[in-house]
Structure 1
Amino acid sequence: MGILNVTLGTINSTTGGVQEGFQDYSCTVGTTLTAGQSYPISIRTNANANENVRVWLDLNNDGTLNPTTEMVFSSISARVHTGTISLPASAVLGTRLRLRVAADYVNAPIPGPCSTSQYSQTEDYAVTVQANTAAPVAEFVANQTLTCSGCVQFTDQSQNAPTSWLWNFGDNTTSTQQSPNHCYSTPGTYTVTLTATNAAGSNVRTRASYIVYDNAVPVAASCTPTTAAYCCGYGITQFTLGPLSKTSQDGQASYEDFTCTSRAQLTEGNSYPISFGTATNPQDIRVWLDLNNDGIFTSNELLYTALNRTNPAGTVLIPATALKNVPLRLRVLADFVGGAATACATPQLGQIEDYTVTVRANTTPPVAAFSSNHVPGNCQNPVQFTDQSQNAPTSWLWNFGDNTTSTLQNPSHQYATGGAFTVTLTTTNAFGSNTISKTNAVVLMVPCVRYCEATGTTPNIWLTTVATRRGTAIDFTNTSGANANGYGNFVDKVIPLYQGTNTFLDMSVNANFQHLLWAWVDWNRNGTFEASELLANTATSATTLTAGFTVPTNPAFRGLTRMRVMVRLNNLPTPNPCQVNQNNSETEDYSVLVSQPQSSMEARTLPALSVFPNPTTDGRLHLRLPDPTAAGTYAVRVENLLGALVQETTLRLSPSQDAELNLAGLPRGLYVLRLQNADGQTAVRRVQLQ
């Protein structure tokens, strides 16, 4: 304990601390300071425990240190105490004045000018105050630059001992007080000017657009619960909602009302990111918005819940039912898991914070977006779709890819047949429409079968590419890295296979270690990879292996099924498609769509082009052209079997992205696609609309 260093002006005194007891250096250590100026002060105490510090200056040189009027500096619970000392013009000039520095342990009584420290010490120094001879340097601050009440406390910080002050608050009112409190009567933005004067001259400080008075605040809340017994870092230290971001003290601060200083303007019908800082303790967090601005938070105004979470994040949808263009109160509650759960409940350990949100009416067309609970490879049917569109749509049109639609906002849909389905959502409001389509949004087998689990670790070996081709015509390719838990779920990617055709499966790995490559296709769709369905079983050290096979012609095999590809390092075990937790092994699953063979004419024209799904149930076709030498813009003619033109368009074909052709407006039946690019390269394909 004790005072180890005092620095002020030219004083820089390092001493021994508490063992030296009271020390009077006023005859030997001092400094000269100028009246009306501010000076930095630094006091260093025990480096291992916090102390409280007080400093007094005998301004009138009467030998008595007034505990309040002559205290020039204070610091609480610190080890290095820093700040400033301002010397009033009323101080006695030209005389050594006693400066007393007192310190004591943080849990001991606050030291007084004549008390004896219990654990620390007191030291005296000298300060000589000299008269100021320079004109003032005007400066000031306000206790808040954004006010909702209109009242602001201004504090003079001018240097060189001004003797008079003239304030102009920017609203045609003035004051001659040194540090006035001023209340604005009209909301607005104000420029504030201070003119400081002494015998040597005057100086002006202007702060342009310094004070903003905004009296638009939410209706007062019906309750403002304070923290019952803060503990252990519970509460909120960071809150973000869209453009609003606020760092604050945790539950130790109890209830905090930030409705004046922390505001956000949000648009109805839009979702915004929300996040919280909660230190290390899991907490229950809830957020309400007073939608009708009545000061009461009801259950239907609860926008967000995160239970038993640390630093949670998510999204919040702004309801269209919120009052528009008025400040609404947003309430955030954080408490221990199982603690306070309503907007007016008393937090036991955490806290409540309030903010302001102004909801603006939407004036733009929707931006369509959606999600679903479909997980590739699972047997989720029906599928629940969730609208996530922005900009407050008022109507929805879903196309599930199987010739069925819905106008519900969040429909559930039962698929009657298996396949790879493109799902489309069109959203509309008074300002326009927007459409989003997701290729292979739903890929499932009907009836659905579940396949065995296959997992492993991938420290040294994993699959990098799986591709299929007919000769040089690439039908499918997928590139991947080392998958988590040794399993890659690519069931949302569909490999087209054509019955009776000779097909090649190209498999690549990351390294040239000795390894095994296996591949199966569940041709009979019974959920089991049987020995008769094994396409590849080869040991190699090459990074690429090609396995050739002929797609079975059994009509019962047509439709959607599963391919499993597996790599394993070293050894030569019996192929096992269901191995679990196998070291140095990785498995990838894909969907396979087995279709009728293409005609010989189709095979000769642009062989790399694949058209799928074919047949199509919703009229939407995807055209894939992996051959970069054939990429370009193609004129597309759709003809019926009598040769009559029924649809015409242009498509851009490239390896980087599938093109989509929508034939949903045509009757069911067989059609011929004729494609031709600017170089005269052609392709012909038959397609069937079911």
Structure 2
Amino acid sequence: MMRLKKYSLFVGLIILLAVLAIPGAAASDSTQPGYITVGLMPVAQFDAHYAAYSVVPTLVSFTDTSLGSTPMTYQWDFGDGSTSTNQNPTHSYIQRGTYTVTLTVKNAYGTDTAIKKDCISIGMAPKADFVANPTSGNVPMNIAFTDKSTGIATTWNWNFGDGTGSTEQNPAHTYWTAGVYTVTLTVSNDYGSSYSTKNQYITIVGNLVSKFSANPATGKAPLTVTFTDLSLGTPTTWNWDFADNMTSTVQNPSHTFKTAGLYKVNLTVTRGTDTDSSIQTLNVGGVPQVDFVGNPRSVSTGDMVQFTDTSLNSPASWAWNFGDTATSTNQNPSHSYQVKGIYTVTLSAQNTNGIGTETKKGYINVGIPPTADFIPVIAPYVIGKVPMSVNFIDKSTGLPSSWNWNFGDGSTSADQNPSHVYQTKGIYTVTLTVKNTFGSDTMVKKGLISVGNGGGADFSASATTVGVGWIVSFTDLSTFAPTQWSWDFGDGTTGLGPKPDHVYHTIGVYDVSLTASSPYFTDSVTKKQYITVLNIPRADFVADKTRGGAPMNVTFTDKSSNGPTSWKWDFGDGATSTDQNPSHTYTTLGSYTVTLTASNVNGQDSTTKVNYIITTLAPVAAFSADRRVGNAPFLVQFTDMSSNNPTSWKWNFGDSATSTEQNPRHIYQAEGSYNVSLTVTNQYGSDTSYKSGISAPTIAAAPTTVSVTAAPTTAATVVATTIPMTTQAPLPAAVSVVASVIAMLAIVSAKRK
């Protein structure tokens, strides 16, 4: 009987400690921000909603959006002397004014307070404020502007400092030229307006581009070469690698190559965290100077192309790559292509002094019609004058064999890159039609050339027939060097600057006007019915995965807007599809550019994602955890699920701990939310998988149970009750220790009996 009383005492102590230490409430059912969750302190946050800001009284609804483990308690201070303990209260403000609202939330892990200064404005003019992210970068740089004004604003007017503006509340803007820009936001409502100006707020620097010259670039060994840095973007450091185990950090070094060979000289330039590299190959000594010709360069499938080696320095062996996986070691091989396409051809030639290589991109056209394109080049000193000479540069692709130019003034040309003199003032549309044996294409550039006009205003658009929601880029073509521009886009909106972007939101035909001014001259031009807006699709898509080992099956999902009715996919490996959401298997290693063209009766739009799909021998990181939510200390078994045979692993568990095991176990000692990453590596490269809590599982509201066996009347076995448990909070350390000691004493005592 005494033994039974002892055991009952032990059991009672254990039950009492468990009831006191373990919260009875269900665990949070909200998604937590970390991949591994070990109890969360609260993060106070809230929203306020009210329809009328200009009447008194005004009823405001407050919505709690706080994060953290539940249950929570709430304490509101509405800024006018009133308070509430409801989670989502409503409050009536009975006087005009601007009020600061405070919410304090509390749970088992701690307390947090959110204060929104001047967030309620009743019958008051707004106070302008804003932030931008980022505030610096390289051109072109897209900046997201966020309105932070207090009070109720009904209109917003942004001036981005580069001659452009916006009336959106939270616009995004692209800076296309380097400079330091001052930004102003003006906000208003029925009671008044205010503005906020941030001087020299946005800093845009030019792109960093590595570039250099070598003089001489070839010659007999030993050869001394003077290198001249021609890089753009104002680099601050230079690192030269001369490919003969010698380097330099001088901006414009001289270097002597002592032995014959082909040297791939690399210049890496740096500015802050930006870096760029460029390579030139120098021929020192008798290494083959590789070159070749192919005839004909435009053929049908199955036709033969004769390749002829024209390399210098007497190569003794040759290695050809015809771009369609076929190769040859003949000096002058013949080859026929079996699939339509544009092919890049490479020849490597070798002699006793070394190997030289020549690659000609897009060299052979097999059954593909050309695509027309061109640019005008005008000397600055003839702009705006009569007569005016213009050089036209053909930029067409697809190896056209003939060119037909119409300069818009009655003159034509069949040259590839013609020069033309305009004799009369006017604005001229230029047309280029290119042909080859497989078809033709025409490019029309409306109002491209402005001649004379007394310094006339002129402009062009990136497209004149567009879909709803498309971005139209306008470009000033005025010939008198204006310094101010005022645009009327014909839909009730206006713009500033020499190159504004504009979006038309409604179907229609719009006139566009530009008024351009300089200190000495102002001129206006209106182009009637210039922009036609139709319900043309806006092509977009995503893939369920973009990297992996071959063969790799990829499912593509159409995300196009404006109601497309047909789809044309080019998967980048020669395969196509007309399904809306196709699946495609990539069977060989490589990087693939994917294009989707979405169409309906009004037109079509294409989007191309360059090197979007990559199949590789490098590993693709992936992992899982056996459990993701629990009490501290919390043991997690991580399992590597990476593909393509990684040979090394580096884990970061998010709590400063790491591991190089393939499948590590880790104990989280403290409460918190942890993001986990795994980097895997093999001889071909490395990859990293980073997991946050976007897909974190919810914690079930139903409690789990721990059974403690009750003592039977005839034996000294410990038994008895069921205690509710949740994973919301760990036991306090002291309670855990005491409970463990009591339990162990009970077990030891039972064994002795």
Same fold flag (TM > 0.5): no
Give the TM-score band, short-chain normalised: under 0.3
